[in-house]
Amino acid sequence: MMTAQDVAALKERILNGYLVTSEEALELLKVEDKEQLYQMADDIRRHFLKNDFEMCSIINARSGRCPEDCKWCSQSALHDTNVEVYPLIASPVAVAQARDNAKYGVAKFSLVTSGRTLSQTDVDKSCQIYNDIRKEVDIHLCASMGLLNKKQLQQLADAGVEHYHCNLETAPSHFKNLCTTHTIEEKKQTIQWAKEAGLGICSGGIIGMGESEAQRIEFAFALREIGAESIPVNLLNPIEGTPMHGTAKLSDEEILTTFAMFRIINPTAKIRFAAGRADISHMMEKALKCGMSAALVGDLLTTLGSSVSEDVKMLTDQGYDIVK
């Protein structure tokens, strides 16, 4: 088992550019003094990212009727949920929300659409929405539109989109237990095409879906392997009507340890709070000090997030510098 001295020595190596191995990461999980682990993650975050904190926001640009069978998702047509259903939103709606978020210092804005992918018609409409936003709002643009093909991803890049979001969702060894209608290899292909189109990669997923601690480590390494620059970490919201309803929530220690290990394994990435923050509101200050450097703010896809102004106040009170 690693001693306190071993942990300190490993941290210094990471600060000097070393990337931990999976064996070292699994040993870190065994460290009894979790506070040392959390401090290690925060030291790494401050070294590489200073006190910079990035906020992003999303709009649910097309909702429901997804043909995929992802067990966690309320938007699957295979699950009996009360999710709202509508086609691709009108451009003025997206422009107005992007403008509102930019006023509060939000750096990135993304259209997020339900479904396996988009038709070419909806890709064309989305690109027009992005063009409209660019004309009126000073904000970086992102997209989350499923398994698009290489040509469509290039089309988004040409329309001014800078980052593409495609979650791996969980450890590769666990994915098949949660979704059977597409594979993690298909996700990796989409991510590779997005990179070839010059898009930055945002990819993370959900913890608390029955994966083991070791699989969370596997997940973090899979994200490092694909070159994820931004890693959103969602806490499972076990929505009624989905197969995940009734799933027991992770303990505070499991959540904080996951945040810390994702930072230690991905030292320069933006480790991003995403859905499920209400579950850790009682320990948000401590969670921030586990290596987190970004957050998805405002209203989330099908659950309500905290308001942007409240997030800004919380972050500045904790000494973070909001960056655009």
Distance between CA 204 and CA 74 in Å, rounded? Answer: 18
Instruction: Assess contact for 53 and 212: CB atoms under 8 A.
Output: no
State whether residue 67 is helix, strand or coil: coil
Bridge partners (DSSP) of residue 59 are 111
Do residues 292 and 273 lie in contact, with contact meaning Cβ atoms separated by under 8 Å? yes
Give the residue-averaged pLDDT of 128-141.
Answer: 97
Q: How far apart, in whole angstroms, are the C-alpha atoms of residue 244 and residue 74?
A: 10
Q: Within 13 Å of residue 275, how many CA atoms lie on the same side as its CB?
A: 21
Is residue 146 predicted with pLDDT exceeding 90?
A: yes
Q: pTM (2 decimals)?
A: 0.95
For 201-247, what is each residue's pLDDT tens digit? 999 999 999 999 999 999 999 999 999 999 999 999 998 999 989 99
Q: For 178-195, write each residue's pLDDT tens digit.
A: 999 999 999 999 999 999
Average pLDDT over residues 235-263: 95
Average of per-residue pLDDT across 302-311? 63
Residue with tokens 């106040």: 313
Using 50, 70 and 90 to split pLDDT, how confident is the model at 39? very high
Q: Which two tokens stand for residue 232?
A: 């959103």
Taking residues 97-123, report their average pLDDT: 93
On whether the CB atoms of residues 150 and 190 are closer than 8 A, the answer is no
Q: What does the pLDDT read at residue 149? A: 98
**Predicted pLDDT of residue 302:** 45
Averaged pLDDT, 107-117: 96
Confidence class for position 275, pLDDT limits 50, 70, 90: confident
Q: According to the model, what pLDDT value does residue 303 have? A: 46
CATH code reported for the domain at 28-323: 3.20.20.70
Enumerate residues 6+ apart whose C-beta is below 8 A from 90: none
